[in-house]
């Protein structure tokens, strides 16, 4: 288990608090308590002198009260400032693309959208005026998307889309009217959230602006038209480019508005390597819908090690090396020195505490922790010792849930020791401690501790 990263910082804070209290108590004793202890000496003076003394003391008392009030205010201000300095020093944060995040499972999303689509003007030469109207080319458009966020600002998705389009092929006369086609296709998109990329990460951000680009395939079902030639189904590779705007409605739901253009005339047919009228293959979609976040939602930033702690540990290591080098200069044999008595060797079957770390809200032991379990199994089997498995959780969530989570983690470790590493179940005791903050780094509290009884 690594050491906590802020021991030196906590020591400095404790020294600062002690010094402030020392100053407050010192001046309180000098200004308030000392004059009160000297009051009985006034009894040895005459009545007239005592009256003068009382007058003087009355003025002094007013002055002392004022001083005491000012001192109390100064002390309170000093304590408040010290506390504020301890609590308001923020950790330096950077834009999301400069921040490392913990890689874990989850962060899937499902998007349902509906809207309209239209072909770009083109087709027949000099079409009638009514065919130039945008609403003459509009059809219905629907999409279903399943994607995954790889970090807070980059995601990929597979989108299935379909609908109806109207266009005007060049081989039809104007009197033939427009041609209706239903289409269905899919494309794989790469998405970059510009807001989350260049701003500091926040799981409660309301607005997202996400351009995307992708490749896919589309199949179009043509409607036969009288006197038309080569009016048949068509399929081709597609390329798409678009922009998505999202508004956060809740922890797991977003409202999305999306516009994209799809070019569909990348045909692989040998008899028509390129369709004569490329504009018939370009159409745009405008859709709106809801995005649902599945599984894990928030991202956890990687906590860097404290440089001051690392330097302190390096200094301790260097000091030990220097001490070792100094001891090497001593003679190996001293004839004047008596032979030291052989130390009594006490053998105890004890094992240092072992820690198994878990991911956020997880009770699954990762493969990289198996080497620790193997060491525990070897110790128990070689020494016939009993071990205690203690489960913990961090302070996130309510106490009842964390108690159950810590128990599931402890039982998961016990099951692996018994089923995978052959430890006798009677040698293992399980204990659940629930939520804990024994370590300043939150991730270290999501653990199971294994120790000998």
User: What CA–CA distance (Å, rounded) separates 393 from 407?
Assistant: 9
User: What CA–CA distance (Å, rounded) separates 154 from 194?
Assistant: 9
111 band by pLDDT with thresholds 50, 70 and 90: very high
Q: How high is the pLDDT of residue 326?
A: 77
* Degrees to nearest 5, angle at CA 152 with 149 and 156: 30
159-188 pLDDT, tens digit each: 999 998 776 655 555 445 566 778 899 999
Q: 342 pLDDT exceeds 90?
A: no
Q: 68 pLDDT exceeds 70?
A: no
Q: 44 pLDDT exceeds 50?
A: no
Q: 317 pLDDT exceeds 80?
A: yes
Q: 78 pLDDT exceeds 60?
A: no
Q: 334 pLDDT exceeds 80?
A: no
In terms of pLDDT, which residue wins out, 215 or 95?
215
Kindly indicate whether the domain formed by 350-452 is annotated with CATH number 3.30.1330.60.
yes
- Percentage with pLDDT > 70 across the chain: 62
Kindly indicate whether the domain formed by 99-294 is annotated with CATH number 3.30.530.20.
no
The mean per-residue pLDDT over the stretch 396-413 comes to: 89
Q: Measured in whole angstroms, how far is the alpha carbon of residue 230 from the centre of its chain?
A: 56
In terms of pLDDT, which residue wins out, 38 or 153?
153
In terms of pLDDT, which residue wins out, 371 or 292?
292
Q: How high is the pLDDT of residue 45?
A: 46
> Which H or E run includes 312?
helix 307-328
46 band by pLDDT with thresholds 50, 70 and 90: very low
The mean per-residue pLDDT over the stretch 132-153 comes to: 84
Q: How high is the pLDDT of residue 359?
A: 87
Mean pLDDT of the chain: 75
Highest average pLDDT, of 13-17, 218-222, 241-245, comes from 241-245
Q: How high is the pLDDT of residue 90?
A: 44
Task: Report phi then psi at 429, rounded to 5.
Answer: -115, 145
Q: How high is the pLDDT of residue 119?
A: 79
- Percentage with pLDDT > 90 across the chain: 21
422-435 pLDDT, tens digit each: 888 888 889 998 88
> Which H or E run includes 189?
strand 179-192
Q: What is the DSSP string of 47-66?
A: HHHHHHHHHHHHHHHHHHHH
Q: 404 pLDDT exceeds 70?
A: yes
37 band by pLDDT with thresholds 50, 70 and 90: low
Query: pTM for the whole thing?
Result: 0.48
The mean per-residue pLDDT over the stretch 294-319 comes to: 80
Spell out the domain ranges in the chain: 99-294, 350-452
217: closest CA among 180, 262, 251, 254?
262
251-261 pLDDT, tens digit each: 999 999 999 99
Cα→Cα distances 260→184, 211, 285, Å: 16, 9, 5
User: What CA–CA distance (Å, rounded) separates 101 from 304?
Assistant: 11
Q: How high is the pLDDT of residue 347?
A: 60
- The three-class DSSP label of residue 421 is coil
């Amino acid at each position: 288990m690594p050491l906590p990263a802020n021991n030196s910082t906590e020591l400095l804070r404790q020294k600062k608090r002690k010094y402030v209290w020392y100053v407050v108590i010192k001046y309180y004793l000098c200004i308030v308590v000392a004059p009160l202890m000297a009051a009985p000496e006034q009894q040895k003076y005459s009545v007239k002198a005592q009256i003068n003394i009382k007058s003087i003391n009355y003025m002094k008392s007013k002055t002392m009260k004022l001083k005491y009030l000012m001192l109390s205010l100064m002390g309170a201000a000093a304590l408040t400032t010290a506390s504020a300095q301890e609590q308001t020093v923020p950790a330096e944060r950077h834009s999301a693309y400069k921040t490392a995040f913990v890689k874990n499972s989850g962060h899937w999303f499902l998007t349902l959208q509906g809207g309209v689509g239209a072909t770009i003007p083109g087709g027949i030469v000099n079409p009638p005026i009514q065919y130039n109207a945008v609403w003459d080319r509009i059809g219905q458009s629907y999409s279903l998307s399943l994607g995954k966020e790889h970090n807070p600002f980059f995601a990929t998705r597979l989108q299935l889309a379909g609908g109806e389009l109207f266009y005007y092929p060049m081989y039809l006369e104007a009197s033939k009217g427009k041609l209706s086609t239903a289409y269905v296709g899919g494309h794989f998109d790469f998405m970059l959230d510009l807001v989350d990329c260049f701003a500091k990460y926040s799981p409660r951000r309301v607005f997202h602006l996400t351009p995307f680009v992708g490749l896919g395939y589309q199949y179009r079902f043509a409607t036969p038209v009288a006197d038309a030639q080569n009016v048949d189904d068509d399929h081709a590779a597609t390329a798409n480019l678009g922009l998505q705007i999202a508004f956060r409605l809740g922890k797991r739901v977003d409202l999305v508005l999306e516009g994209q253009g799809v070019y569909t005339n990348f045909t692989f047919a040998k008899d028509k390597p390129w369709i004569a009228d490329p504009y018939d293959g370009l159409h745009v979609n405008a859709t709106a819908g809801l995005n649902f976040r599945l599984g894990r939602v928030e991202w956890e930033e990687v906590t860097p090690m404290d440089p001051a702690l690392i330097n302190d540990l390096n200094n301790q290591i260097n000091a030990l090396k220097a001490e070792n080098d100094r001891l090497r200069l001593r003679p190996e044999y001293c004839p004047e020195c008596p032979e030291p008595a052989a130390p009594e060797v006490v053998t105890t079957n004890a094992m240092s505490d072992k820690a198994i770390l878990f991911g956020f809200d997880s009770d699954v032991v990762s493969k990289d922790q198996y080497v620790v379990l193997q060491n525990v199994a070897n110790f128990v089997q070689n020494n016939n010792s009993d071990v205690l498995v203690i489960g913990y959780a961090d302070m996130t969530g309510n106490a009842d849930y964390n108690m159950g989570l810590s128990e599931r983690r402890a039982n998961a470790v016990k099951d692996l020791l018994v089923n995978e590493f052959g430890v006798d179940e009677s040698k293992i005791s399980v204990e659940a401690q629930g939520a804990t903050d024994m370590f300043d780094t939150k991730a270290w509290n999501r653990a199971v501790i294994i120790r000998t009884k």
